[in-house]
Amino acid sequence: MDFRECGECDLCCRWLSHEVYGQQVSPTNPCRFIKNGCSIHPNRPAHCKRYFCMWAQGVLPEWMYPKDIGAMVSVKKWPHGQWLEVVECGVEVIDEVMMELLKFKVPIVVNNKLIGPPEFTEFYKNYVKTYSNLLPPISN
């Protein structure tokens, strides 16, 4: 797999909930090390080093650079394969992005809207209960 450089994209440092050297990072509390990208990139925490969005993994086309489309796409696992989690970063995901993601033929979650089979809906309800401290609340 050919990984891409994040460059100035820092969306994961702003929109994913995690902890960085004592700071709880969230959409309302972005990482204090953001300065045109990650200012501590070589010394960032291990969980930051392990995270690669689908664009950085080289799976998504070049035009889907997260900072340009205003969204991050992550691959997650469930008992029937993989699913895609799309985090909107201040803007709604445009149709062209959704059309590209639908080509993967796996369940997709965008802003707590689920696209997938009924068994995925059940899986996701349990996922949210388990990881509710990391995700925004889901509406019924």
In a domain, 18, yes or no: yes
CA distances for 81 relative to 76, 102, 106, angstroms: 9, 15, 8
Separation between Cα atoms, residue 128 and residue 132, nearest integer Å: 5
Beta bridge partners of 85: 74, 109
**Number of domains forming the structure of the chain:** 1
In a domain, 91, yes or no: yes
- Total-model pTM: 0.85
Single out the residue of 48, 55, 47 nearest to residue 5, CA to CA: 55
- How many CB atoms sit inside 10 A of residue 124's CB? 20
Q: Three-class SS of residue 74?
A: strand
In a domain, 3, yes or no: no
Q: Specify whether the CB–CB gap between 55 and 63 falls below 8 A.
A: no
In a domain, 56, yes or no: yes
Q: Specify whether the CB–CB gap between 84 and 109 falls below 8 A.
A: yes
Q: pLDDT, tens digit, for every residue of 5-62?
A: 988 899 999 998 889 999 999 899 999 999 888 899 889 999 899 999 999 999 999 9
**Residue-level pLDDT at 129:** 83
Strands (E), the chain: 18-20, 23-25, 71-78, 81-88, 108-110, 113-115
Q: Which domain holds residue 99?
A: 11-130
In a domain, 66, yes or no: yes
Q: pLDDT, tens digit, for every residue of 106-140?
A: 999 998 899 999 999 999 999 888 876 554 443 33
In a domain, 137, yes or no: no
**Residue-level pLDDT at 45:** 92
Pair of tokens at residue 46: 């291990």
In a domain, 37, yes or no: yes
Q: pLDDT, tens digit, for every residue of 89-101?
A: 999 999 999 999 9
In a domain, 136, yes or no: no
